[in-house]
Amino acid sequence: MSALLEIRDARRTFVTPEGGRLAALDGVSLDVSANEFVTLLGPSGCGKTTLLRAISGFETLDSGTMRLGGADLTGLPPFRRPVNTVFQSYALFGHMTVARNVGYALEVAGVAKAAREAEVAEALEKVGLAGLGARKPGQLSGGQRQRVALARAIIAKPQLLLLDEPLSALDRNLRQQMQLELKTLQHSLGIAFIFVTHDQEEALTMSDRIVVMRAGQIEQIGTPRDIYRHPKNRFVAEFIGETNLMPVTIDRVDGSEALARTAEGVELRLPASGRKPGEQVTAVLRPADFTLGASGIPATVSRAVYLGSDLYVFVQPKAGGPELRVIARDTAGVEAGATVHLSHDPARVHVLEAA
Amino acid sequence: MAVKRQSVVLGVLLAPVTLFLGVFFLLPLCIIALFSLLTPGLYGGVEWSFYHWNYGRIFGWADGINEIFEPIYLQILWRSLSFAALTVVLTLILCYPVAFWVSRLNDRWRLVFLFLITLPFFCSLIVRLYAWLLILKPTGLLNTILLWTGLISEPLEILYTPAAVVLGMVYVMIPFMFLPLYAAVDNLDRAQVEASMDLGANRIQTFLKVILPQTLPGILGGAVIVFIPSVGNFVVPDVLGGAKGLMIGNLVEQQFLSSRNWPFGSALSMIIMGVVLTVLMVSVTRARKVSGHA
Ligand SMILES: Nc1ncnc2c1ncn2[C@@H]1O[C@H](COP(=O)(O)OP(=O)(O)OP(=O)(O)O)[C@@H](O)[C@H]1O
Ligand SMILES: [Mg+2]
């Protein structure tokens, strides 16, 4: 099956006002299949918005190709692309009613008024805004505006919906609710979504695949689990979720396990797979990969943050080296100054080749 | 208690303005309204008795003794309104695209341009109009150039025609149209323009459905600011217009300065004010309704 959207080696360089040149897209290749939820994740300024704007037609590429459903998009103006966008600022038309906003794509396509009204009502229903059609955008709450922007973008049934940080203006509760709703909506509509976010948690919970970007390049593409458990490099490991990165030297290999040591002498066990003694690698352990128990790495608790059923603990290995972060069951006695022992399952340790 | 104190403070703060407007704006207006109903004095001034022929004359009623039916005043009023409307339309057509162009300039050039637009205010209006006179007259700059290039074989008679008056008014009014338009265009939400195109509206649809309604406040503001002084303008027709370019403002000026018929001048002024207010109210309301601003 060929992909819905194929991007090959997309490049776009901006001349900055300071006179420099900045590669906002530096050889980006990406495939998105029909009905897929893809998230673009990366630090500010890495080119996420530029990539979306290139897909929607507001930014032209210096080189590279984009095909949608097999058809070349080069030179096609935004209004001829079967792609719609939910803008970060929503960009609702302030002088039109909610209903006219939502029906805009049909209005400009020349759909008759009666048919339009029926579809607008249906779209408003879908996003939970039934009955608010007569209002102006200025008379809605932030969350409601967000839904109008969504309804407006899906009414023409685009093949691909682009969402540029659509939830960033909402408070935490509303945001989580909208995350679920968006995901459900995407399923029921059968439209592919490309979703931009800063928020790695959002990316992990919503996506079929995550694209991690840095400085105009794609660092890694993979499922949320893939990206979280098997980051390709330090950048991805640190960008997605809390991580303990521990540079270690392999001590000896013991069947399926390898024993490794940090410069300070903290001992770790890793999957053996092809390791040789003396090799220098980086071990990636998520805070939840450690357990606090009677045996293991001796460490002193420097701070414990109560999270509800869990504790977020900062510990200092007695041997020295950087502090480690551990998420553990809330147990009595784990408090600043206490001595604990950290153990871990070697199979859950991810190994980065470079030290 | 606090609310009451606040309103007292507000009253004290607003008193000077209220007094100023009351004395120098409202009072003269009342005097004009009163004079328009009184009998003209023989050598200017008024006589304190009611006289309805001031308004009667304008609408073509004759008093049967001094006057016969004369629609001339209505004609001049109509001409003034059309000249003003034409001025609004022409300045709008000239300024609208330029406003878009200027809003896209970089900061430095934009500042330069905005300074240039306000430059005419540094020079007397009369002087600038006489410059136009020199340009437009049969042996003036325009005709000399056109004759020299061979585009025409005889000098164009532009000066002292309605065209010259409209040209002059357009020239005078351009900054007044440009500035509110520019403010509106500069405030235009680019994201909404992009949203429109993203949703499938081509450039023309986007212009009509998003850009035009969004800049409408600027267009209306510019139109009002240009229309009002244009209707009553008497300086431009004085310098550039002949008998056919006479406007209602000139008529008022004549009544007060040369004909010495103050009540008739006052009545004309009241009519201008009423007509301008009506025209503006009707057109602004309709424009808002059409564009969905309501
Ligand atoms: N029109 C432009 N002219 C010059 N530089 C630009 C332009 N648009 C974007 N850039 C630069 O290109 C880079 C990528 O910008 P982009 O908006 O794609 O980032 P982003 O990943 O969306 O960031 P954020 O998460 O903050 O929205 C940035 O460094 C930005 O400064
Ligand atoms: Mg962005």
Query: What digits encode the pLDDT tens for the residues B231-280?
Result: 999 999 999 987 778 899 999 998 888 888 899 999 999 999 999 999 88
Ligand 1 mutation pick, A22, A56, A58, A218, max ligand atoms within 8 A of CB: A22
A188's enclosing H/E stretch is helix A172-189
Q: Tell which of A239, A262, A277 closes a domain.
A: A239
The parent domain of residue A127 ranges over 5-239
What is the rounded end-to-end Cα distance, in angstroms, of chain A?
Answer: 39
Say yes or no: A248 and A234 in one domain. no
Query: Is residue B294 pLDDT above 80, yes or no?
Result: no
Q: Count CB atoms within 10 A of the CB of residue A71.
A: 11
Query: Is residue A252 pLDDT above 70, yes or no?
Result: yes
Say yes or no: A277 and A307 in one domain. yes
At A160-211, the pLDDT tens digits run 999 999 988 888 888 888 898 899 999 999 999 999 998 888 899 899 999 9
Structure tokens at A38: 């893809």
CB nearest B198 (choices: A78, A89, A109): A78
Q: Which domain CATH number covers A251?
A: 2.40.50.140
Structure tokens at A256: 């399926």
Say yes or no: A218 and A85 in one domain. yes
Neighbours of ion ligand 2 (CB under 5 A): A 49
Structural contact between residues A200 and A41, judged by C-beta atoms closer than 8 angstroms: yes
Please report the beta strands in A21-149, taking only residues with DSSP state E, as ranges in sequence order. Answer: 21-32, 37-41, 63-68, 71-72, 83-86
Q: Output the pLDDT for position B69.
A: 63
Task: Confirm whether B63 is domain-assigned.
Answer: no
Sign of CA dihedral A184, A190, A196, A200: positive
What residues in A contact B292, CB-CB < 8 Å?
Answer: 95-96, 100
Say yes or no: A209 and A342 in one domain. no
Task: Confirm whether B150 is domain-assigned.
Answer: yes
* Closest residue on chain B to A161 (Cα): B198
Helix crossing, B262-290 with B212-231: angle to 10°?
A: 170
What is the rounded end-to-end Cα distance, in angstroms, of chain B?
Answer: 38
List alpha helices for chain B, DSSP H. 2-21, 27-35, 53-58, 72-103, 107-118, 125-136, 141-149, 162-186, 190-198, 203-206, 212-231, 235-240, 248-257, 262-290
Distance B154 CA to ligand 2 centre (A): 64
Structural contact between residues A219 and A236, judged by C-beta atoms closer than 8 angstroms: yes
Q: Count CB atoms within 10 A of the CB of residue B279.
A: 16
Enumerate chain A positions whose Cβ falls within 8 A of a Cβ in B.
Answer: 56-58, 77-79, 83-85, 87, 89, 91-96, 100, 104-105, 107-109, 152-153, 156
What residues in A contact B199, CB-CB < 8 Å?
Answer: 79, 84, 104-105, 108, 152-153, 156
At A137-156, the pLDDT tens digits run 999 998 899 999 999 999 99
Pocket of ligand 1 (CB under 6 A): A 14, 16, 22, 24, 42, 44-50, 198
Q: Which domain CATH number covers B227?
A: 1.10.3720.10
Q: State the pTM of this model.
A: 0.82
How many separate domains does chain A show? 2
